[in-house]
Amino acid sequence: MKIFLIALAAVTVLGSSFYGYQKYEERMASNSETPVVTTTNIDRQAASATATTTKTVNTKSEQGVGGIKIKADITADVTQTVNCGDESCFEKKFATCQPATLTADTGALGAVAYTIKGAVAGGCKMSMKYTASPNPAWTNKEMTCVYDNKLGFQTAVEKTFEGVISGSVVCDGALYSALKAL
């Protein structure tokens, strides 16, 4: 008889817990505020189909179940990096410091992959990596610097590269270390 009463009590507790959880889920679904803002810009002049999408999701809720109060405040910004197929697309993204990539074949000097990371104090944070180079010590090594995006893309790259060689510009990465050793 005791075993039967214990089992009945356990079933009753579990059943009411499950019922409370279901009611909690229903309240969360019906009472939560979920404003979603989506912005999409499409660069129709780029050689390939590219888009930058920023989506902001902000969810706030405060619910309670069985004396337990749950508060959630979640915000997330997601930015997609544009893969530019040509330098004119990348030049536009560089001027506004929007995330983008460009792989450029420079002929005898090799090939370089550029990635705009985003705006920082003093300019635009961008990395470069030689994917092919006459100097094998530079191949597949990355350097991240702050470039002056008030200048044109090519001018900013040249000035930054010269500054790295002269020691007046400080960057990060294995390519920077290799160039600094020259």
- Highest mean predicted confidence (pLDDT) among 4-8, 66-70, 132-136: 132-136
**DSSP characters over 117-157:** EEEETTEEEEEEEEEE-SSTTTBT-EEEEEE-TTS-HHHHH
pLDDT score, position 81: 83
Residues paired with residue 128 on neighbouring β-strands, in sequence order? 114, 143
Model confidence at 16: pLDDT above 50 = no
pLDDT-derived band at 72 (thresholds 50, 70, 90) equals low
Residue closest to 146 by CA, chosen among 127, 165, 129: 127
- pLDDT 10s digits, 73-128: 666 666 678 899 889 999 999 999 999 999 988 777 789 999 999 999 989 999 99
Helix axes 153-166, 87-96, angle to 10 degrees: 70
Residue 1 binned pLDDT confidence (cut-offs 50, 70, 90):
very low
Query: Is the model's pLDDT at 170 over the cut of 80?
Result: yes
Return the top range by mean pLDDT from 9-23, 26-40, 153-167.
Answer: 153-167
Mean pLDDT for 15-34 is 46
pLDDT for the residue 141: 94
Instruction: Evaluate if pTM is beyond 0.85.
Output: no
- Rounded to whole angstroms, the Cα distance separating 54 from 37 reads 8
144, 173 Cβ separation under 8 angstroms: yes
> What does the block give as tokens for 174?
């294995």
**Is pLDDT above 70 for 161?**
yes
- At 170, the amino acid letter reads V
Q: State the DSSP H helix or E strand holding residue 161, giving kind and residue range, or none if neither.
A: helix 153-166
pLDDT digits (tens, 9 = 90+) for 125-146: 999 999 998 888 899 999 999 9
Q: Provide the pLDDT for residue 82.
A: 86
Question: What's CA 176's distance to the chain center, in Å?
Answer: 23
**Percentage of the chain modeled with pLDDT above 90:** 42
